[in-house]
Amino acid sequence: MIHFVLLISRQGKVRLTKWYSAYSQKERTKVIRELSGLILTRGPKLCNFVEWRGLRVVYKRYASLYFCMCIDEDDNELEILEIIHHYVEVLDRYFGSVCELDLIYNFHKAYFILDELLIAGELQEPSKRTVARLVAAQDSLVETAKEQTSSITNIIAQAANFTIKMLHKGYGPWGSNALHLESLLLVDVCTRLVDQH
């Protein structure tokens, strides 16, 4: 079982943390500090495993980022390396040659992808394509929701603008019947749309 996943930059900045075992916030900071001291100082040719508090940390460096996963003593370290690579490949596919900046500005995306890959510290999906598809499907759900809200806000904003303009031009709501009707209609449409959502 994977106890936690850490992404640490070469400067020791935390880019992603995911805890599958119970660590209090205080312990988490301590763990991160301890491990970055342990891992960032290791030379490039050494093996990718570090023993730590009776557990084992498997890490792999990709460019400026260290991907670390902490596992039990009897887990398969080599497989964890594959899982890390698996994750990196999915990220790469999603962002299109991923770099650290992508993971900083879109850290939530990195989390969403990880959640499609691991649950409860176990691997969920061996197919990169499936992961990509599931993340994309959820992204598009968000997009549609966003569009809907923004179209509603647009309509409301337009209606408001229109009414205000008319008022400015001296057409009071009771000035010109035609205009008055039009704006009332618009407001009506808007309220209905808002009600629907």
Partner 1 sequence: MNPFSSGTRLRDMIRAIRSCKTAAEERAVVRKECAAIRAAISENDQDYRHRNLAKLMFIHMLGYPTHFGQMECLKLIASSGFPEKRIGYLGLMLLLDERQEVLMLVTNSLKQDLNHSNQYIIGLALCALGNICSAEMARDLAPEVERLLQFRDPNIRKKAALCSIRIIKKVPDLAENFINPAASLLREKHHGVLITGIQLCTDLCKVSSEALEYFREKCTEGLVKTLKDMANSPYAPEYDIAGITDPFLHIRLLKLLRILGQGDADASDCMNDILAQVATKIESNKNAGNAILYECVGTIMSIEDNGGLRVLAINILGRFLSNRDNNIRYVALNMLMKAITVDAQAVQRHRATILECVKDSDASIRKKALDLVYLLVNESNVKPLTKELIEYLEASDQEFKGVLTAKICSLVEKFSPEKIWYIDQMLKVLSEAGNFVKDEVWHALIVVISNASDLHGYSVRALYRAFQTSAEQETLVRVAVWCIGEYGDMLVNNVGMLDIEEPITVTESDAVDALEVSIKRHNSDLTTKAMALIALLKLSSRFPSCSERIKDIILQNKRSFVLELQQRSIEFNCILQKHQNIRSALVERMPVLDEATFSGRRAGSLPTSVSTSTGTARNLPNGIAKPAAAPVADLLDLSSDDAPAPSSSGGDFLQDLLGVDLSPASAPPGTSQPPKAGTDVLLDLLSIGTSPPAQSSSPASNILSSIQDDKASLANLNGLASLTSLSPNATSASPAPMMDLLDGFGPSPQKKEENGPAYPSLVAYESSTLRMTFNISKQPGNPQTTLIQAIFTNLSPNVYNDFLFQAAVPKFLQLHLDPASSNTLPASGNGSITQSMKVTNSQHGKKSLVMRIRIAYKINNKDVLEEGQVSNFPRDL
Considering only the stretches 15-23, 62-70, 175-183, 187-195, report the one whose residues sit in contact with partner 1 under the rule CB under 8 A.
15-23
Do 121 and 160 touch, CB atoms closer than 8 A? no
* Residue in 155, 15, 146 with CA at minimum distance from that of residue 91: 15
Do 79 and 86 touch, CB atoms closer than 8 A? no
Residue-wise burial string across 169-187, b where 16 or more C-beta atoms lie within 10 A, e elsewhere: eebeeeeeeebbeebeebb
The smaller minimum CB distance to partner 1, of residues 20 and 171, is found at: 20
The nearest distance, CB 18 to partner 1, in angstroms, is 8
Contact set for partner 1, span 38-97 (CB under 8 A): 42-43, 45-51, 76-79, 81-83, 86
Do 40 and 66 touch, CB atoms closer than 8 A? yes
Is residue 29 involved in binding partner 1 (CB under 8 A)? yes
Is residue 136 involved in binding partner 1 (CB under 8 A)? no
Find the binder of partner 1 among 63, 104, 164, 184 (CB under 8 A): 104
Find the binder of partner 1 among 99, 132, 134, 155 (CB under 8 A): 134
CA 8/CA 32 separation, integer angstroms = 9
The smaller minimum CB distance to partner 1, of residues 136 and 185, is found at: 136
Is residue 147 involved in binding partner 1 (CB under 8 A)? no
